[in-house]
Amino acid sequence: MSDAMIEFREVTKRYAGLVANDRLSLTIRRGELMTLLGPSGCGKTTALRCLTGTIRPDAGRILLDGRDVTEVATHQRELGMVFQNFALFPHMTVRDNVGFPLMIRNLRKEARATRVQEALRLVRLEGYAEHYPRQLSGGQQQRVGLARALVYRPKVLLLDEPLSNLDAKLREEMRFEIKEVVTRLGITAMYVTHDQAEALALSDRVAIMNRGRLQQLGTPEEIYETPNSRFVAEFIGLSNFLEGRVASVRGATMTVTASGLSIHTPSLPEVAPGHKVLLFVRPNEIEILPAATPADTNVFPARVEKTTYLGDTMDYRLMLGEGVELRVQADARHRYGAGESVRLRWPRVRSWRANEE
Partner 1 sequence: MTLLKAYLRGLREGWFVLGYTLCVCLSVFILAPFLMIALRSVGKGWFGKLWLPPQLTWDWYRWAIEVGNIPEVMKNTLIIGVIAVAVSTVIGIFAGWAFGRRQLPGKELLMAIVLLPRMIPPITYALGVAKIFYTLELVDTHLGVALAHVSVCAPFAILVLSATFEGLDERVLEAASVCGANTVKRFFYVVLPLIMPGILASMLFSFTHSYNEFTLTLLTYGPNTVTLPVRTYLAVGDGYWEITSAMAVIMVVPSLAILAMIQRRAKPEKLVGGFKGV
Interacting residues with partner 1 between 165 and 204 (CB under 8 A): none
Report the residue number, 91 or 333, with the smaller CB distance to partner 1: 91
Stretch in the footprint of partner 1 (CB under 8 A) among 71-79, 115-123, 195-203, 314-322: 71-79
Contacting residue, 58, 65, 78, 340, with partner 1 by CB under 8 A: 78
**Strand pairing class (287-290; 341-345):** antiparallel
81: contact with partner 1 by CB under 8 A: yes
Interacting residues with partner 1 between 113 and 152 (CB under 8 A): 148-149, 152
Count of CB atoms within 10 A of residue 309's CB?
A: 10
Query: CA-CA-CA-CA torsion for 300, 305, 307, 308, nearest 10 degrees?
Result: -120
Report the residue number, 161 or 223, with the smaller CB distance to partner 1: 161
Instruction: Tell me the closest approach of the beta carbon of residue 267 to partner 1, in angstroms.
Output: 50
Contacting residue, 2, 3, 39, 74, with partner 1 by CB under 8 A: 74
Residue 55 phi, psi dihedral angles, 5° rounding: -120, 140
80: contact with partner 1 by CB under 8 A: yes
67: contact with partner 1 by CB under 8 A: no
105: contact with partner 1 by CB under 8 A: yes
Instruction: Tell me the closest approach of the beta carbon of residue 318 to partner 1, in angstroms.
Output: 47
Instruction: Tell me the closest approach of the beta carbon of residue 100 to partner 1, in angstroms.
Output: 5
87: contact with partner 1 by CB under 8 A: yes
Residue 98 Cα to chain centre, angstroms: 29
Instruction: Tell me the closest approach of the beta carbon of residue 104 to partner 1, in angstroms.
Output: 5
43: contact with partner 1 by CB under 8 A: no
244: contact with partner 1 by CB under 8 A: no
Report the residue number, 58 or 96, with the smaller CB distance to partner 1: 96
Interface with partner 1: number of residues (CB under 8 A): 29
Q: What is the 3-state secondary structure (H, E, C) of the chain?
A: CCCEEEEEEEEEEEECCEEEEEEEEEEEECCCEEEEECCCCCCHHHHHHHHHCCCCCCEEEEEECCEECCCCCHHHCCEEEECCCCCCCCCCCHHHHHHHHHHHCCCCHHHHHHHHHHHHHHCCCHHHCCCCHHHCCHHHHHHHHHHHHHCCCCCEEEEECCCCCCCHHHHHHHHHHHHHHHHHHCCEEEEEECCHHHHHHHCCEEEEEECCEEEEEECHHHHHHCCCCHHHHHHCCCCEEEEEEEEEEECCEEEEEECCEEEEEECCCCCCCCCEEEEEECHHHCEEEECCCCCCCCEEEEEEEEEEECCCEEEEEEEECCCEEEEEEEECCCCCCCCCEEEEECCCCEEEEHHHC
15: contact with partner 1 by CB under 8 A: no
73: contact with partner 1 by CB under 8 A: yes
Residue 166 phi, psi dihedral angles, 5° rounding: -110, 160
Contacting residue, 4, 9, 41, 52, with partner 1 by CB under 8 A: 52
Contacting residue, 38, 43, 101, 220, with partner 1 by CB under 8 A: 101
Stretch in the footprint of partner 1 (CB under 8 A) among 26-34, 103-111, 183-191, 272-280: 103-111
Stretch in the footprint of partner 1 (CB under 8 A) among 86-94, 211-219, 298-306, 328-336: 86-94
Contacting residue, 25, 54, 183, 226, with partner 1 by CB under 8 A: 54
How far is the first Cα of the chain from the last one, in angstroms, to the nearest whole number? 38
Report the residue number, 49 or 175, with the smaller CB distance to partner 1: 49
Residues at the contact surface with partner 1, assessed by CB under 8 A: 52-54, 73-81, 83-85, 87-91, 100-101, 103-105, 148-149, 152, 158
